Amino acid sequence: MNTYLDCIPCFIKQSLEAARMATDDEKIHEEVLKVVMTHLRSISFTNSPPELSKEVHEIIRYITKSKDPYKKAKETSNRMAKKRYPHLKKMVEESDDPLLMAVKLAIVGNVIDFGTSNRFDVVDMIDNVVKKDFYDGGYTQFKKSLCNTKTVLYLADNSGEIFFDKLLINELLKQDKEITYVVRANPIINDATIEDAKYAEIDKIATVIEGDAGQKKSTPGMVLDFASKKFLELFKYSDMVVSKGQGNYEGLSDVNRDVFFMLVVKCPLVARDIDGEVGSLILKVKK
């Protein structure tokens, strides 16, 4: 997905938020905004939003001298999700269709996000998810695809959300799938890294890899130009690819293979691109 002019105010809003997470010094907040605006004057809109976001957050980290402005926010999300995990697990186990419930909850977990302007309440969403049937053909296609699948490449999005992913990974393991769970190699916004995967003990049930290993800075969304060799190989040969979140969608929406995108739509431009509404839960395969 290309970057649009509408992304500019969003990048700036996010820069201010990240700067405030990194320091209380208002002079630094102001400097961050000024340098980010200077940078945004010369960007190329043919790059995808995750690529530009990477550049913006590089500036933020440099000026605030913080390697990981979202560290505390990520820890809070993880703790909150961990606490909720036994309840969510029970919801899946007691459901008539545990796989469907796990898919729904994995998508709902994507509301835990600091990388977008629109925020939704995860508890509200969990309550709603049980009542509604969200998917047109998406879930049917997903189940059908699973029948011929041994290897699943599962792209994580955010910390906290990873506990919701764990529910779905557990269901996939019951069907004897082999899961490779892809996290970012470096901190970027609140995206999950290997540290988060270990905190959720996903490394004990799946192979965890860094999708962009070898790169010094991660993009908040998988972009093949920045991917590791290992990832590219798995991306090519895995039977199924599951991609969580907007960032990964923005980076992979135009690739030349089937990908099952699971996300909560938070931005009107993604909504238009994916043919959904802001706030809606999406399970869609793009070919």
* Residues forming the site for its own copies (CB under 8 A): 5-6, 8-10, 12-13, 16, 26, 29-30, 33-34, 37-38, 40-41, 45
Closest CB to its own copies among 2 and 141?
2
- Rounded Cα distance between 140 and 34, Å, is 48
Closest CB to its own copies among 30 and 124?
30
CB of 64 to its own copies, least distance (A): 14
CB of 49 to its own copies, least distance (A): 15
DSSP class of 264: E
- Rounded Cα distance between 190 and 272, Å, is 24
Closest CB to its own copies among 16 and 194?
16
How would DSSP label each residue in 134-183? Answer: --SSHHHHHHHHHHT-SEEEEE--BTTHHHHHHHHHHHHHHTT-EEEEEE
SS3 state of residue 242: strand
CB of 123 to its own copies, least distance (A): 21
User: Are the beta carbons of 22 and 73 closer than 8 angstroms?
Assistant: no
Q: Which residue, 124, 231, 227, is CA-closest to 180?
A: 231
Sign of the C-alpha dihedral computed for residues 69, 273, 110 and 169 taken in this order = negative
State the virtual CA torsion across 267, 165, 177, 236 in degrees, nearest 10: 40
CB of 155 to its own copies, least distance (A): 29
Closest CB to its own copies among 41 and 216?
41
Q: Please write down the long-range contacts of 87-93, taking CB distance under 8 Å and 24 or more positions apart.
A: 88/126, 88/163, 88/164, 88/167, 89/167, 89/170, 91/126, 91/130, 92/167, 92/170, 92/171
Closest CB to its own copies among 45 and 62?
45
CB of 67 to its own copies, least distance (A): 23
Closest CB to its own copies among 272 and 286?
272
- Rounded Cα distance between 241 and 177, Å, is 12
CB of 254 to its own copies, least distance (A): 20
Closest CB to its own copies among 19 and 129?
19
CB of 38 to its own copies, least distance (A): 7
Amino acid occupying residue 134? F
